[in-house]
Structure 1
């Protein structure tokens, strides 16, 4: 099996490094139709989504040297995402069962260990202006500890975004999950979550109170997606809520990841990423945020209109419409 080599630091700089899990989504309907394999994993989907929108991207992940791993390597190469990989376990899998409305429930078989990739990951961070992480990578040990340490130490080198994308079937201790989420929120500039994430993490708080709590931990921007009801965003200066686009849904696999990727890409297009832009990000105005949210909504809608985690290309979505 011919796996490509690891990231080589002398290949040049990049805009974005994503740190997180790669896996194979094995998708079937409730009627137990034949399984279809798709490359997935929330951070991987974000990396691919960003690369498709013109952001030069690397992914720090774990991929096994097996047939599923080869699918992931091929998929990343096809989408121009460089890869840094560590660990020796088999490639992780997630079996998604689709309900009649296109929603997905998951069962996982996974491993998350980056101990052998820390130095290569740090070399990648040193040439990145923005870093992203989320989901299983920030909850499952021992890799979650490695991810946090790397990002914490890189905070002065890059802006950071985070999407908890909680998986209660994997991390069942909500107190632990809440603690982990708050650790990562505290080192992040941009946080995106779903309403389901916040309802699970904070069952005794409203969505708005949970968002305010996260904003007080340090980020410039907290966004919560509410499916067909659209996103709500909170900064230190204002609250903004938008409706979702009206679409025919094929399934919702990867919709949140596509939203996250387009959010990063739009902020990059508006030159709002990187440590020198933290003050600008903190003072984002309503017109800028409207443009960014509309861009992310359109990206998510395109993904929902077709099967699997298949985010749009730049040619489909275009560039963000910058405010006058």
Structure 2
């Protein structure tokens, strides 16, 4: 196995110069010399000793991404962005999928502390209201052990976080349906401790501003999966005065609602308009293509890595970055007939 001594000999430079170049040390080295060292390392098949690098820098160059689900494309698309950005900065990504089990989140946190990861990008597992307190405790444990933390998907005190204004997204989606003439607008909410607060509030505020009374029969809760949306639309369409339009709080349930409506013989958008949240390639290929409140997934990943690197590099102050949603109009909505 080639060493930095072999590279130094082949490139005709000192071992110290090779070390500076391969470790990315901010030290002036001529570009010609740098290229000669990199070429020599490639030719010799050099593989850096990560353990030695960790000891020298007092870092493991590993960041954990802790998410509730890997089957939801909202998280997988963000994960792809984060993994790529961290790789560009010389960090490996350790993926932790809690499967929406709070006990598993806590186990992962204990494991990450033991592994001495440099940072954690954290999207909390929230199924029951009491899970929020456990989320906060887990974050505090990471920070107490000197691990940089960035959160997305919820609000936490004194933690750097990426905040997506889903309230405005739900408000805009509801107003769009109202402009199309819909007044009976159903709402497929998420888990009790999850997405319901801001998105439901946006939906309800838009109705109130339009002078429409909130009908509790038009609000149902699903499990954030396709089967949840499927069951919810069947429930909504069987009430005495069914909705003419539906908003679902995530993409999977919106697609499930679309399938459920079709299986009931309901024409979308002729008899029922549907709007989803998040967006994905699936939203574009289903029939009809789904109108969605698009969340900026690439920006979420980019900003999360940026905030994490600030902490790893010594910036202690927490910072919140707010990102906005965008209503993408496709073919799943039409005016009330």
Q: Shared fold (TM-score greater than 0.5)?
A: no
The structure whose Rg is larger is 2
TM range (shorter): 0.3 to 0.5
Higher share of residues assigned helix? 2
Q: Structure 1 length as normaliser, TM-score? A: 0.36
Q: Report the TM-score when normalising by structure 2.
A: 0.35
Q: Which has the higher strand share?
A: 1
